[in-house]
Chain A
Amino acid sequence: MLSRVAERMYWGARYLERAENTARLVRVYDAALLDLPEEAGVGWPLLVDICGARELFDARHPKGGDRETLKFLISDADSPGSIVASLGQARENFRTTRDLCPSEAWRSVNEMYLYGRETLPRMGSGRGRHEGLSGIVQRTQQLAGLLSGTMSHGAAYNFICLGRNLERADMTTRIIDIAAATLLDTRTSASGLSNTLWMAVLKSLSGYQMYRQYVRRRIRAEDVIRFLLQDTLFPRAVAHCLAGLETSMLKLPNHEEPLRAVLKVQGIVDSQLPERVEEAALRQLMDDLQIELAGIHEQTAAAWFLPEEAP
């Protein structure tokens, strides 16, 4: 498989995952915001932080604003992290690798892009927003199913899985990070809204039901964090994503270095979660994890994407 093509597959999958995650986030915060009183200090700006786009957002919208935030996250094609921009990038990557994907997959990506371009800018009302975002989540899941069910699980597919799992792990750590940051704000913890917030976190990752089934405890910060980091069965938990990375890498040639990077992150996830969660320590841990996840990306690029000299 060509290095260039492997890289595009990987990025195509990352952008799709990013579009889906952002759609999930906005959808759930829409619902959670209705439950949280305003003084909780949880609002749309939080999502800009989760997506790591604070600087750009402030530069473009110095006055902030809910409407501006939503547009920035959803439909602004010039905002690199917006759903529309991610879909556009995903489409471009799949378009240039359509010789390797089943043609239904390309059609599905293309259709999703057209759907997003048409639907997402009309997200003024809460109701329209919910339907539009659910449409994105549904389509990305449908595509994942299509790829899993119709594409040979060879190198190209493994690069798709790599991109997806890495992006997913990254997003999960970002969400935990921001929740912790919010809780650091005394107003929130003092007002006893911690549980509501962690419930919203679980829901944004479609993890609420699974948490209930597998953890069988009330919503408690420590348990939620442990579930989202260490659970090996829940597909959006970091440990599960890492296991997925490991499986995909083992099927690819020259996997020693990237695999080493994955094992390193696994070690951190397994051993460094303190018994009693301090918000500041938690934030530091998430920061470390994000740096190490970026390290996995670097090793991935070095092993498979960067050019080799001629014989």
Chain B
Amino acid sequence: MKIDWSQYDPGHAWDELLSGPGRPRPHARELTRYLSSLTPNGLGRRQQAAERAIMEMGITFTVYSEGQNIDRAWPFDIIPRVIAADEWRRIEAGLKQRLSALNMFIDDIYNEQRILAAGRFPREVIETSGNFLKECMGARPAHGVWAHICGSDLVRDADGTVYVLEDNLRVPSGVSYMLENRIVTKQVFPELFANTRILPVDDYPSLLFDTLASLSPRPLDYPEVVVLTPGIYNSAYFEHAYLAQSMGAELVEGGDLVVGDDDCVYMRTIAGLERVDVIYRRVNDTFLDPEVFHADSLLGVPGLMRAWRAGNVAIANAPGAGVADDKLVYAFVPDIIRFYLDEDAILPNVPTRACINSDDRQYVLENLRELVVKPVNESGGYGMLIGPAATADEIGRFADLVKRKPRNYVAQPVLKLSTAPTFVHGRLEPRHLDLRPFSLQGAQHAVTAGGLTRVALVKGSLVVNSSQGGGSKDTWVVETGEA
């Protein structure tokens, strides 16, 4: 028995591949036609082959569970998620616009503060932000860019609108899984790549290297670029190593670097100390430099902030860039785009209520059952309230939290995340998903073609985080016009 799309019911959510049972969307036709030539058993065999490849390639992520770090195989669903290239071009323009404006915002906040003076952004929000670092005031990173690598979370609601849900400007992760997913999919469905025009993603490491190299304080042909990792116990260590390897950069830990009396950064090598020009850091802001932040941090490099402020080393993302990556600042991004670029946002924000405003707070407290309430400073889906799924106790607890610390919470309507066919229990069923494209900004802009699709493997679940039972899919941006 072959795969029969008339048996696939996307329900009320927007499905990325089909508009209804047996009705594939135009950009997904090539894929759905091909899949309907396979049997569920045939798909099962390919899923197993993919899982074997993932084990052998050692694609893992680390979860902290029951007091132990466990290296788990990356959960992967073989059915790709497909996006039409026409739609993608609009999303790409929207992402570039957004990152440009956010970088202008960060640069402004740490220097002239024009937006505050103009009364277009509440000063209080900055002053109470945990991500605002006063140590960064007056710094002038190259090109005026602070957030060089941005991982945006996009979601699609039931009416087909694509929203930006989050801008991750600190140490966004996931791009290596995007690259590995493509490699695995090519092994599993080589036939499809011959017949479909799928935009490549494998140029990301070289784009990343170019972006980082463009930040070098020394005008060299081959600046020394390093990737700074907290070490192998970090959940994203696999990715740090992967990116360093594919860029041909050194993967360093805090102990490998040392700042000299000349305020330059050096790494300890077999030939002695060597000067470092650009640090792609995957260590959080406040662990970067024990001289300035946590004195007991072993992850950082004493004196690093000194070297950065002196302009002797570039750090990506720059310390303090997280000031624009706060769910409360998020609520103002459309205004930020208007202020700096005099444009309307191409990609809409999810309508967001900031509990810091008394009107909004009142509304949130009255409608907790219908809303998603998020702490402004958490990531990874932790500490959220999903109103419709919450118990009376949880609702009560969040009402308390919102009243006590309104600055720390925002609320959004529950979006019906879009779905795509996912291979579970030997058949294809719709599962909710999101999308994390990666944008780069240095001397130039670039955006990945597609990104990392994360999928909630549990039926009906909206939680896509890999640390909480989510999986991932390869993401195809396909040209549908005349080839």
Contacts and interface: CB of A to CB of B under 8 A. Distances in A.
Interface string B261-297: 1100011111111000000000000000000000000
B58 A253 contact: no
The 5 closest A-B pairs by CB, nearest first: A99-B245, A99-B244, A253-B271, A311-B260, A99-B251
A106 B244 CA distance: 14
B271 A2 contact: no
Contacts of B251: 5, 99
A252 B271 CA distance: 8
Given A110-B58, A310-B261, A4 B256 contact: yes
A1 B256 CA distance: 11
Contacts of B376: none
B269 A1 contact: yes
Contacts of B270: 1-3, 6, 155, 252-254, 303-304
Interface in B28-86: 55-58
B253 interface: yes
Given A5-B251, A96-B241, 17 more contacts: A1-B250, A3-B268, A95-B58, A95-B232, A99-B245, A103-B57, A106-B58, A107-B56, A155-B270, A253-B270, A253-B272, A254-B270, A254-B271, A307-B255, A308-B272, A308-B273, A310-B260
B258 interface: yes
Interface string B240-259: 01101100011111011011
Contacts of B262: 311
Contacts of B55: 114
Contacts of A111: 56
A139 interface: no
Interface string A210-236: 000000000000000000000000000
A123 interface: no
Contact of A2 (B56, B245, B260, B269): B269
Contacts of B258: 310
Given A100-B245, A311-B261, A311-B273, A4 B56 contact: no
Contacts of A6: 270
Interface string B207-228: 0000000000000000000010
| Interface size range on B against A | 20 to 34
A2 B250 contact: yes
Interface in A1-35: 1-6
B256 A310 contact: no
Contact of A310 (B244, B253, B259): B259
Most buried by B among A6, A95, A252: A95
A117 interface: no
A110 B56 contact: yes
Interface in A224-273: 252-254
A104 to B, nearest CB: 10
Interface string B369-399: 0000000000000000000000000000000
Contacts of A303: 270
Nearest to B53: A107
B267 A98 contact: no
Interface residues of A, number: 27
Interface of A: 1-6, 95-96, 98-100, 103, 106-107, 110-111, 114, 155, 252-254, 303-304, 307-308, 310-311
A4 B255 CA distance: 9
Contacts of B232: 95-96
A110 B258 CA distance: 32
Nearest to B71: A95
Q: Is the interface of B mostly helix, strand, loop or mixed?
A: mixed
A256 to B, nearest CB: 13
Contacts of A3: 256, 268-270
Given A110-B56, A110-B58, A2 B241 contact: no
A103 B244 CA distance: 12
B273 A2 contact: no
A106 B259 CA distance: 32
A199 B249 CA distance: 49
Contacts of B252: 2
Nearest to B253: A4
A114 B71 CA distance: 13
A217 to B, nearest CB: 44
Most buried by B among A3, A107, A304: A3
Given A100-B245, A310-B259, A311-B260, A2 B58 contact: no
A107 B57 contact: yes
Contact of B267 (A2, A95, A96, A304): A2
A141 B259 CA distance: 42
Contacts of A1: 250, 269-271
A113 B270 CA distance: 29
B290 to A, nearest CB: 15
B268 A4 contact: yes
B250 A5 contact: yes
A99 B241 contact: yes
A5 B253 CA distance: 10
Contacts of B272: 253-254, 308
Interface string B308-343: 000000000000000000000000000000000000
Contacts of A5: 250-251
